[in-house]
Amino acid sequence: MGDRPSFLELLDLEYIEEDIYRSCVTFAEPHALFGGQVAAQALYAAGKTVEPGRLPHSLHGYFLRSGDTQRPTLFRVERDRDGGSFSARRVVAIQNGQVIFNMAASFARPRVIDEPLLDRDAGPVLPGSLPPAESLPAGGHPRHPSFEFRMADAGRRLPDQFWIRCTDRLPALEDDPLLHAAVLAYISDISSGLRLLEQPGHLSSSSIDHAVWFHRQARMSEWIWQDLRPQTVAGGRGWYTGAFYTQDGTRVASVAQEALFRTAPPE
């Protein structure tokens, strides 16, 4: 137990036996274990059980209990299916004998060179419409020391549009695309799109369920633009969607999340 670990240290999972991995990195913090960390680790553990080259194209997870930063986390992978094109996995993250997070993830085989596949976006970002990262003030967050932020309004409690990149010395995308996908899974839970629906005494709180679709590979050591949009609040829950873009406006992933939305300020 010690200082907050780097992102690469978080992905240094110990192999226990087939389909079982453990994160032994622990540290003291007044907050619950960050959900994006558990999702990234679960995805990385699942990816270790598929054949080389099959990369995640979607994950769907539920945050069931608060995790403890001072406890190791065990990840148990279930191999649901390995087909000709897709591999399906389920993962449960366990602390103190209880499941804190479960996830279903799907992995797809590499694209065949001579296979014609359509690559289009219904809502492309126009060139020059995103603010250059270098034009915005640099910033960081004490809970996420491996990441640098650039946002126009650094005073927002939950920024919904900002640049982010990993400052760890990541391996090249070509050498470990699964790791870069795990970085994206981590940052997909780093903020919220519900800020615009908040009112005095009515604030968004803990994540409940989370989904990410990986459309294209992305180098996570380069700037990624997060654009999170509120959708609706009802029944004590808020739901938002979002998209992730590279600097040239290419959409690399999409996200949807539901979070608690309570009448009392969250802890």
Residue 117 belongs to some domain of the structure: no
**Percentage of residues in the chain having pLDDT higher than 70:** 94
Confidence (pLDDT) at 126: 75
Q: Hey, which residues are catalytic here?
A: 189, 207, 257
- What CATH number should be reported for the domain holding residue 106? 2.40.160.210
Range of the domain at 36: 7-111+129-262
Residue 148 belongs to some domain of the structure: yes
Q: What pLDDT, in 10s, does the model give residues 237-259?
A: 999 999 999 999 999 999 999 99
pLDDT-derived band at 199, boundaries 50, 70, 90: confident
Residue 198 belongs to some domain of the structure: yes
Work out how many domains the chain is built from and give that number.
1
CB atoms within 10 A of CB 15: 11
Q: Is the pLDDT of residue 191 over 70?
A: yes
Residue 226 belongs to some domain of the structure: yes
Residue 120 belongs to some domain of the structure: no
Q: What pLDDT, in 10s, does the model give residues 102-119?
A: 999 999 987 765 667 888
pLDDT-derived band at 264, boundaries 50, 70, 90: low
Residue 123 belongs to some domain of the structure: no
Q: What pLDDT, in 10s, does the model give residues 152-170?
A: 776 666 789 999 999 999 9
Residue range 214-242: average pLDDT? Answer: 96
Q: Please state, in angstroms and rounded to a whole number, the distance separating the CA atoms of residues 25 and 127.
A: 42
